[in-house]
């Protein structure tokens, strides 16, 4: 039996062995009518996409948390400039994502993901050997282009191929396997750093190469829309969809609020690792920060999302999670040892773990089948704006605190930002309730303007 068929058989057997009460992916969505036979055919591809998510997070967090340390310690740049490197990579990835996602709705999600993974391999390999700040920045741009290609198209591929399944469960599992990668990646990264930063970069690039191989072998071509629609797509129709997304005012307002949340979100990649090394003097303790954060997500994300969804709407959960994450960062201002810092990270992580699945769910609800990648790509602009502001602001405030002695300034600022965002999110919820009829009309308008 060929290897591909053997793996597919094992994946199907593994998933079908679970009772439906334990593994509720089998619950049909309310809108998608897909036969049981068709859903079983989709299982290997769904599981490989989930596996790839975990591997990509593993490779990413093996390397990225150590970039700021490498830049400040080995290349002699300031924390602010190290934050700029991270900000540029994030901005390129999320900023280009909106345009590349629109192309992916025509080009095909699998093809776009494959291109992105291979570009990311080149980018991380380049980053491993970057001799100075300029090359470090340029390698971040290349890596960001790769991420732009596979990020939104990967989410859209999972949403498209999971028709007939419970998407809330799918996206919760996506976040869970990602957090497993986030937990274990820094452990290997710190271990390999004892040899050299180049080893860390090359190991991370190799993981992305493996993801490309898995995608090529086990995930079929995923048509984002009907074949008839794809045949009539042209450049005007592809980028015209972005204009239709732009007309969805509630979606735009929500993403503006989310940009503020992402300022808090990226601190785990810049200020928290730097503070950990400052408090303990050991880069090995960075892995503890990620272990606590992602360990909580692995243990509680799925169940917390399921419980909260019984009582609250996704937007409400995003507001509650943002407030909790901000409270955790606010508490860091008073942390003077590793134990108190980890306590703040616990609060911060409990807020983060409920927000991400809700953003996926809301985006999928706003989108039509034909505009799935366009919506996910457009929502990535919120991450782009928040990330560049968060990395630059975090690095600058950390340097300012060290130079002036006002160490808590950084964390008090993030606490204030979270309060503003929570107020904005709950205002948006009331706005959405008052304009619910307009939201329906906008979705109908998007649907009727698609090529037939």
137-190 pLDDT tens trace = 899 899 999 988 888 778 777 777 766 666 667 766 777 788 788 778 888 888
Over residues 50-74, mean pLDDT? 86
**8 Å CB contact between 185 and 289:** no
Percent with pLDDT over 70 in the chain: 77
**8 Å CB contact between 357 and 369:** no
Residue with tokens 């969805």: 248
pLDDT(25) > 50? no
pLDDT(9) > 50? no
The pLDDT of residue 347: 92
> Cα(first)–Cα(last) distance of the chain, in Å?
42
Q: In the 8-state DSSP scheme, what is residue 406? A: -
Q: What is the C-alpha to C-alpha distance for residues 441 and 193, in angstroms, rounded to an integer?
A: 54
pTM of the model: 0.67
The pLDDT of residue 76: 82
**8 Å CB contact between 248 and 366:** yes
Q: What is the dihedral of CA 414, 417, 423, 427, to 10 degrees?
A: -130
> What are the structure tokens assigned to 299, written together?
């243990």
**pLDDT category of residue 117 using cuts at 50, 70 and 90:** very high
Domains observed in the chain: 31-448 (1.20.1250.20)
The pLDDT of residue 3: 46
SS3 content of the chain, % helix, strand, coil (to 5): 85, 0, 15
The pLDDT of residue 428: 79
The pLDDT of residue 437: 52
Over residues 332-358, mean pLDDT? 87
Handedness of CA 125, 115, 177, 11 (dihedral sign): negative
pLDDT(68) > 60? yes
The pLDDT of residue 183: 76
Q: What is the C-alpha to C-alpha distance for residues 6 and 253, in angstroms, rounded to an integer?
A: 47
- Centre a 10 Å sphere on the Cβ of residue 389 and count the other Cβ atoms it contains: 18
Say which residue, 1 or 175, is predicted with more confidence. 175
**pLDDT category of residue 11 using cuts at 50, 70 and 90:** very low
Say which residue, 129 or 437, is predicted with more confidence. 129
> What are the structure tokens assigned to 327, written together?
């409270």
> What are the structure tokens assigned to 250, written together?
């509630």
Lowest mean pLDDT among 115-124, 408-417, 418-427, 443-452: 443-452
Say which residue, 231 or 259, is predicted with more confidence. 259
> What are the structure tokens assigned to 328, written together?
């955790």
Number of residues assigned to the chain: 452
**8 Å CB contact between 386 and 394:** no
- Mutual orientation of helices 271-280 and 338-366 as an angle, nearest 10°? 170
Q: In the 8-state DSSP scheme, what is residue 119? A: H
The pLDDT of residue 424: 87
């Amino acid at each position: 039996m060929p290897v591909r068929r053997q793996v597919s058989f094992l994946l199907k057997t593994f998933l079908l062995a679970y009772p439906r009460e334990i593994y509720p992916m089998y619950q049909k969505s309310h809108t998608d009518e897909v036969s049981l036979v068709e859903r079983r055919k989709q299982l290997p591809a769904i599981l490989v996409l989930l596996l790839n998510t975990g591997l990509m997070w593993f490779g990413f967090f093996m390397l990225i948390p150590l970039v700021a340390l490498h830049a400040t310690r080995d290349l002699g740049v300031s924390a602010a400039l190290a934050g700029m490197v991270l900000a540029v990579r994030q901005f390129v990835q999320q900023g280009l994502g909106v345009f590349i996602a629109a192309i992916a709705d025509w080009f095909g999600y699998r093809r776009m993901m494959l291109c992105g993974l291979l570009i990311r391999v080149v980018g991380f390999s380049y980053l491993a050997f970057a001799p100075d700040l300029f090359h470090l920045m340029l390698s971040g741009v290349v890596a960001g282009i790769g991420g732009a290609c596979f990020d939104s198209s990967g989410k859209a591929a999972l949403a498209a191929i999971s028709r007939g399944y419970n998407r809330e469960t799918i996206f919760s599992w996506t976040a869970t396997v990602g957090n497993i990668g986030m937990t274990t990646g820094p452990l290997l990264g710190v271990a390999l750093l004892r040899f050299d930063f180049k080893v860390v970069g090359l190991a991370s690039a190799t993981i992305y190469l493996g993801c490309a191989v898995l995608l090529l072998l086990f995930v079929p071509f995923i048509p984002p829309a009907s074949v008839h629609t794809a045949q009539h797509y042209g450049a005007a129709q592809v980028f015209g969809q972005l204009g239709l997304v732009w007309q969805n005012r509630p979606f735009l307002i929500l993403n503006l609020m989310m940009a503020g949340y992402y300022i808090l979100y990226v601190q785990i990649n810049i200020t928290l690792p730097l503070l950990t090394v400052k408090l303990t003097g050991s880069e090995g303790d960075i892995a503890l920060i990620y272990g606590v954060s992602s360990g909580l997500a692995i243990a509680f994300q799925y169940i917390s999302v399921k419980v909260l969804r019984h009582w609250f709407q996704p937007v409400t959960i995003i507001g509650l999670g943002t407030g909790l994450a901000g409270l955790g960062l606010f508490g860091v201002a008073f942390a003077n040892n590793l134990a108190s810092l980890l306590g703040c990270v616990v609060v911060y992580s409990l807020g983060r773990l409920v927000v991400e699945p809700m953003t996926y769910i809301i985006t999928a609800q706003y989108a039509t089948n034909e505009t799935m990648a366009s919506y996910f790509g457009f929502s990535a602009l919120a991450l782009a704006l928040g990330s560049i502001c968060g990395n630059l602001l975090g690095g600058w405030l950390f340097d300012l605190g060290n130079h002036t002695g006002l160490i808590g300034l950084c964390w008090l600022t993030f606490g204030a930002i979270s309060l503003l965002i929570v107020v904005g999110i709950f205002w948006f919820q009331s706005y959405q309730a008052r304009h619910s009829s307009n939201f329906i009309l906008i979705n109908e308008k998007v649907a009727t303007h698609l090529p037939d």
